[in-house]
Amino acid sequence: MSEKVRKYSPSYVPVHGTKSGYHWHRAQNDEPCTLCHQAFKSYWVEMNKLDRRKGGKRASEYGAYYEPYNRMQVIEQYGAICHLCQESIDISISRKVGHQGWERSLHIDHVIPLSKGGEDTIRNVRPSHALCNMRKGSSWGGNAE
């Protein structure tokens, strides 16, 4: 019997203490066991550490130079102060529009917009509030330091 058939058979139970185990519990409308819950939590923490950006997707649309970076690197380098209004940014707030406080959440602003020939590198981005960044649009913000 092939591995795929066995995996999807009704009697299949994955190894507990794995991400697959967590999803199996959820599919059974079951509360995940402690081992599976811990495994999924560890996976989630690691994935958020990696901060999987859309790897230069917008940069490639504009033909801009791209170097990988993540939000935490931007915060470490420039601090949690909006470079547009000079007020603090609450990095714990959800960035999704409509969630309470989203206006003051973290956005990564390209100082020289990609549409105006800017690069998608840590040297050309700064932390900003979501609302400040949206109001600014693609106006030229000046030179990156």
**Assigned token pair, 67:** 């170097």
Task: State the distance between the two ends of the chain, measured CA to CA, in whole angstroms.
Answer: 62
Same domain, 126 and 86: yes
> Could you tell me the CATH number of the domain that includes residue 99?
1.10.30
Query: What is the chain's pLDDT, residue by residue, as a tens digit (145 residues)?
Result: 445 545 566 667 778 888 888 888 778 778 888 888 888 888 777 766 544 455 577 888 888 888 889 888 999 999 999 999 999 998 888 888 888 888 999 999 999 999 899 999 999 999 999 999 989 877 665 544 4
Q: Which residues of 36-49 are buried (b: 16+ CB within 10 A; e: fewer)?
A: beebbeeeeeeeee
At residue 6, the pLDDT reads 59
- Residue 93 lies in domain: 65-136
At residue 120, the pLDDT reads 92
- How distant, in Å, are the alpha carbons of 47, 50, 108, 119 from that of 112? 29, 25, 12, 7
Same domain, 42 and 80: no
Q: Which of 142, 108, 110, 107 is nearest to 124 (CA)?
A: 110
Same domain, 126 and 85: yes
Count of structural domains, the chain? 2
Q: Does 37 fall in a domain?
A: yes
**Dist CA 95 CA 106 (whole Å):** 7
Same domain, 76 and 131: yes
Same domain, 29 and 86: no
At residue 41, the pLDDT reads 81
At residue 145, the pLDDT reads 47
